[in-house]
Structure 1
Amino acid sequence: MSNPPNPSPTRWFKALRRTRLGEPCMKTYPLECVELLKSARAAFQAGRTAKKSFRLAQLEALVRMLVEHEWDFVDALGRDLHKPRFETVVSELIPVKNEAFHAITNLRKWMLPQCMERDLTTTTLDDCLVLNEPLGVVFIIGAWCSPVQLCLVPLVGANAAGNCAIVNPPETTSYTAEILHRLIPSCLDNECFHVILAGMNDLAEIVELKFDHVFFIGNREEGSKVAQSAARMLTPVTLVLGGKNPCYVDKQCNVTTTAHRIAWARFHNAGQSVVAPDYILCHVAIKEQLVQALKCSLMQFYGSNPRGSRSFGRMVNAESFHRTRELLSKSGKVALGGQVVEAEKYIAPTILTEVVESDPIMLQDVFGPVLPILTMTDVDEAITFINKQEKPLCLYAYSSNNTIISRLMSETSSGSFCSNDSVLQSLMVGLPLGGVGASGMGSYHGHYSFDTFSHRKSCLLRSTRFECVTYLRYPPYDDHNLTLMTWASTLSQKSQGWCQIM
């Protein structure tokens, strides 16, 4: 499959960049976004998204869109990322379908009010409920590494929770952005769901238009700018940020299987993934075996000439190509790969050894087909190394020793953890995906997406009976009434389960 270079920002991106000459003090916003937000706000306030039947219909329409336009997505991602059809279907389309099917199956249960336990301040006639109500109009900012999945999985959650949404696909993957821009309004309700094609430089101003929630997937620098803009408007945010995801390989492991799973996770989509292993912390006793096994895995995956393989992608643009090549040239020793072809934005699957903590490739997110390997004397050294770094989005550990796995899971902090495999935890609808510390805040997937895009409203439904007791709280106050109120309203271990009298 040919991989033409990404076009410069096209007319529909340029049209969103408007300035008012002679008015430097006035903030300007993309007019299209203002109108789309107004339309979505009106649809939400009219109750269009409130009914379960509407939400289910939109989820089903989203699945039909993916099925009927599969080849459009395959073609667009092939142009943007040289992504093979296999990777597009498995890592982009199937995860979105699974999220939609999971939401369709469970939506009725998710929407039900949750009855809460009463305490001593309530009576048997009172009801304590938590209602899940939609937030309103949410803004979803997807990432270019998996632009279909990372735009539409959050959209599934926003839709299931009863919100209207405006989606901003990344301009970096412009062909895919154009497909989403065309299909979402035509396949889903075009008053409730919109797509805006804005560049990263526009996002801070767009966020200040005042949404009810902003969902961002991307790098830390851009996420920080979005969060600051949202904070000025008191808009809640979910941030799923990249990071250097460590992968510890213990001396007690199946080396061949470990190499296959790491190589697949690191080099699919040419290494451009927020959840891929970023570097290996390898037990010194197994390093040579692991390097040899990784070489064998890459030979099986892509052959002796990965450049000619239909299963290997390309860097998304010249900027990413140059950045990755620079990191590669200044770090460690090339054990395999290292070839580059600038005209194709091609960087061969590369393994680096003799890497040290101060190398440039250990100071930045790799986001390319380069895998650095550092050696560790034992798991204690690995845990110390991991805990010195910023908290990652994902942490991986390969070992047949359950004690080693347990220690890495409990003695480190990360957004997610997976043992003896990589990436799969990020595709499971039953597990939340989100960061901690520098790798983000909040989470999504399955029920967690529904929660992210919902407000849990506390509701106490009281009776007017028993006023003969509740009158004790009214003035004028006296010590006798205070004693009775303290006894009646204070929880204790013994009081749990008492019949409520208030």
Structure 2
Amino acid sequence: MASYSEIISSMRTVFRAGKTKTYQWRKQQLNSILRCLDENRDQLSEALNKDLRKSKMESLVFEIDYCKNDAVEALNNLEEWMKPEKVKKGLMNMMDKAYIKREPFGVSLVIGAWNYPVQLTILPLIGAVAAGNCVIIKPSEISPATATVLEQILPKYLDNDCIKVINGGVPETTALLAERFDFIFYTGSTPVGKIVMQAASKYLTPVCLELGGKSPVYVDRNCDLSAVANRILWGKTCNSGQICIAPDYVMCQKEVQDELVTKLKDAIALFYPDGVEKSSDYCRIVSERHFQRIKKLVDNSKNVAIRGPVDEKDKFMGPTVVTDVTPDDITMQEEIFGPVLPIMPVRDANAAVDFINNREKPLAMYVFTNNKETVDNFTNNTSSGSLCINDVLMQAGLSSLPFGGVGSSGTGNYHGKFTFETFSHRRSVLQKELKMESVNSLRYPPFTEKKLNIISWLSTKKLKRAGLGTFLPYFVFGTIIAVVLKAVGLEKIVSYFK
């Protein structure tokens, strides 16, 4: 088998030949991804069930169909996305062409994640291909069944000169990161994200890091706590809580906490009437190591208000709620990434805002309230990758919103057109004519006061002022100037001032 260096070198040669830059190639690959997802949906669903015990609904809605929708959006809009973007011009450049041309970076590396091993591998692939890149895909070895299926099926549909799947564990990922790529896209934990960024820094390779963190929830008083409990529990139990934007912990006032626990018990009974352990709709923890890590959090917690059933052999843990949590408790030290929900009583919304601001910026933030001032408080006085009011997770399903973190929760964003933009370099293009050199002589030495006055008049920007009456004189003046320039010619006007 060829070395990684040889594979990348070969792909770079193909890229430089221009194969991936055409609309036809991009469209063909996107259609092939759609066919691949359609024709292998059962095989992918089985792999997801084997890795995470995902139900068919979760596999389709959150993984396969989610990716299909993104591919369809790219196909529907690709021609428009690829068009040069015209930009505004001043008087100095009114005769020139000025635009932004979106260009592929080159050979990109996509490192997928295990919790959504189809979605978090295929979504960036779609954007990378739409932008015209060659791509090496590295699925997560922690979800081995899905990684194997992707390695088997993708080469049957995609251009193998330009898109390759490489499986393996830490040694293979480390070896890949030692190579020079033109762009790296990584989804995973913050500690590993630092390793990826450090490896990329050797060649100053641009990166998109989709990481995580402790995504907080604030529940205000006077809410419909039944609806709140249903939505929080749903977000915490999807994929058994193994979601980077899952509600990590709840902050609320003490009296709200007690009623919320009661409503969470009701929600569990509503979702799993025959018991969580008997439900085919409840996922399992991905590995023994992760199971033991989450179990340790529960075993070392003092106030377990709802203790979900546990089966170590099956890597199963039911929804668990810990109350009266303090900032020093074990559940507050790291991202939980499992079905354990700590509730920390706070004085009020201002205390919750202060607590959030004294910690790393989260990937997502959730606020349940009927109070506009509370919404404004969290919107204006906190920072997070995303903010969702009165629900959880749903912001990630809207492709017109960028998905990504800030600070330690990540850098860069994607979904829909944003993935295309992430894998594209926005190249500035200014095109002038080799005519009217006398006009250009204004910027050449020797410098004179007259030249300075003309350049200042042409280039100085004016502050906008409100009101139509304020803009009207500028509009009339600009129209007159344009007419005069067209009739007399800029060269004659400039020569007059020399």
Query: Could you state the TM-score of these two structures normalised by the residue count of structure 1?
Result: 0.90
What residue is the counterpart of 1:249 in the other structure? 219
What residue is the counterpart of 1:217 in the other structure? 187
Q: Contact 2:297 / 2:330 at 8 angstroms: preserved in 1?
A: yes
What residue is the counterpart of 2:381 in the other structure? 411
Residues of 2 paired with 1:327 and 1:151: CA distance?
29
Q: Deviations over 1:195-250 (max 9, x none)?
A: 11132344344123111100011001101001000011110000111110001111
Q: Contact 1:126 / 1:463 at 8 angstroms: preserved in 2?
A: yes
Across the aligned residues of Structure 1 and Structure 2, the Cα RMSD in angstroms comes to 1.8
CA shift, 1:477, in A, is 3.2
Match of 2:342 among 372, 381, 386: 372
What residue is the counterpart of 2:85 in the other structure? 114
Residues of 2 paired with 1:166 and 1:85: CA distance?
28
Q: Are 2:245 and 1:275 equivalent residues in the alignment?
A: yes
SS of residue paired to 1:197 = coil
Residues of 2 paired with 1:103 and 1:264: CA distance?
30
What residue is the counterpart of 1:6 in the other structure? none
Q: Contact 1:120 / 1:490 at 8 angstroms: preserved in 2?
A: no
What residue is the counterpart of 1:261 in the other structure? 231
Residues of 1 paired with 2:319 and 2:246: CA distance?
14
What residue is the counterpart of 1:438 in the other structure? 408
Match of 2:447 among 469, 477, 495: 477
What residue is the counterpart of 1:158 in the other structure? 128
* Count of aligned pairs: 472
CA shift, 1:492, in A, is 2.8
What residue is the counterpart of 1:127 in the other structure? 97
Matches within 5 A, 1:18-57: 31-57=2-28
Residues of 2 paired with 1:306 and 1:35: CA distance?
50
CA shift, 1:292, in A, is 0.9
Residues of 1 paired with 2:248 and 2:4: CA distance?
36
CA shift, 1:406, in A, is 2.2
Give, as a single letter, the amino acid of the residue that structure 1 aligns with 2:454. Answer: L
Q: Deviations over 1:412-453 (max 9, x none)?
A: 100001111111111221110000011011100111111111
Q: Contact 1:134 / 1:453 at 8 angstroms: preserved in 2?
A: yes
CA shift, 1:493, in A, is 3.1
Q: Are 2:76 and 1:105 equivalent residues in the alignment?
A: yes
What residue is the counterpart of 2:40 in the other structure? 69
Q: Contact 1:204 / 1:226 at 8 angstroms: preserved in 2?
A: no
Which segment is superposed worse, 293-302 or 434-443? 293-302
What residue is the counterpart of 2:468 in the other structure? none
Give, as a single letter, the amino acid of the residue that structure 2 aligns with 1:346. Answer: F
Q: Are 2:171 and 1:186 equivalent residues in the alignment?
A: no
Q: Contact 2:366 / 2:387 at 8 angstroms: preserved in 1?
A: yes
Q: Contact 2:51 / 2:143 at 8 angstroms: preserved in 1?
A: yes
What residue is the counterpart of 2:49 in the other structure? 78
Residues of 1 paired with 2:266 and 2:382: CA distance?
31
Q: Are 2:313 and 1:343 equivalent residues in the alignment?
A: yes
Residues of 2 paired with 1:400 and 1:278: CA distance?
22
* Structure index of larger Rg: 2
Residues of 2 paired with 1:60 and 1:169: CA distance?
21
CA shift, 1:479, in A, is 4.2
Q: Contact 1:241 / 1:439 at 8 angstroms: preserved in 2?
A: yes
CA shift, 1:304, in A, is 5.1
What residue is the counterpart of 1:294 in the other structure? 264
Residues of 1 paired with 2:22 and 2:178: CA distance?
29
Query: Could you state the TM-score of these two structures normalised by the residue count of structure 2?
Result: 0.91
Q: Are 2:429 and 1:463 equivalent residues in the alignment?
A: no
Q: Contact 1:252 / 1:401 at 8 angstroms: preserved in 2?
A: no
Give, as a single letter, the amino acid of the residue that structure 2 aligns with 1:57. Answer: Q
Q: Contact 1:205 / 1:229 at 8 angstroms: preserved in 2?
A: no
Give, as a single letter, the amino acid of the residue that structure 2 aligns with 1:33. Answer: Y
What residue is the counterpart of 1:195 in the other structure? 165
**Mind listing any 5+ residue stretches in structure 1 that lack a counterpart?**
1-29
Give, as a single letter, the amino acid of the residue that structure 2 aligns with 1:110. Answer: W
Q: Contact 1:208 / 1:233 at 8 angstroms: preserved in 2?
A: no
Change (3 A) 1:409 1:493: closer
Q: Contact 2:368 / 2:391 at 8 angstroms: preserved in 1?
A: yes
CA shift, 1:480, in A, is 4.1
Q: Contact 1:33 / 1:196 at 8 angstroms: preserved in 2?
A: no
What residue is the counterpart of 1:23 in the other structure? none
CA shift, 1:345, in A, is 1.2
Q: Deviations over 1:261-280 (max 9, x none)?
A: 11111111111110110011
CA shift, 1:338, in A, is 4.1
Give, as a single letter, the amino acid of the residue that structure 2 aligns with 1:68. Answer: E
SS of residue paired to 2:447 = coil
Which segment is superposed worse, 463-472 or 110-119? 463-472
CA shift, 1:33, in A, is 2.8
**Mind listing any 5+ residue stretches in structure 2 that lack a counterpart?**
465-470, 483-489
CA shift, 1:491, in A, is 2.6
Q: Contact 1:269 / 1:312 at 8 angstroms: preserved in 2?
A: yes
Q: Deviations over 1:88-116 (max 9, x none)?
A: 11111121111111111111111111111
SS of residue paired to 1:493 = coil
Identity %: 39
Residues of 2 paired with 1:329 and 1:466: CA distance?
80
Q: Contact 1:120 / 1:491 at 8 angstroms: preserved in 2?
A: no
What residue is the counterpart of 2:467 in the other structure? none
Which segment is superposed worse, 74-83 or 459-468? 459-468
Residues of 1 paired with 2:253 and 2:7: CA distance?
54
Q: Contact 2:277 / 2:309 at 8 angstroms: preserved in 1?
A: no
Q: Contact 1:415 / 1:436 at 8 angstroms: preserved in 2?
A: yes
Give, as a single letter, the amino acid of the residue that structure 1 aligns with 2:51. Answer: D
SS of residue paired to 1:344 = coil
CA shift, 1:158, in A, is 0.5
What residue is the counterpart of 2:176 in the other structure? 206
What residue is the counterpart of 2:110 in the other structure? 140
More helix by share: 2
Q: Contact 1:164 / 1:193 at 8 angstroms: preserved in 2?
A: yes
Residues of 2 paired with 1:268 and 1:488: CA distance?
59
Q: Deviations over 1:317-375 (max 9, x none)?
A: 11101111111111241111243222111112111112111011101110111111111
Q: Contact 2:218 / 2:368 at 8 angstroms: preserved in 1?
A: yes
What residue is the counterpart of 2:355 in the other structure? 385
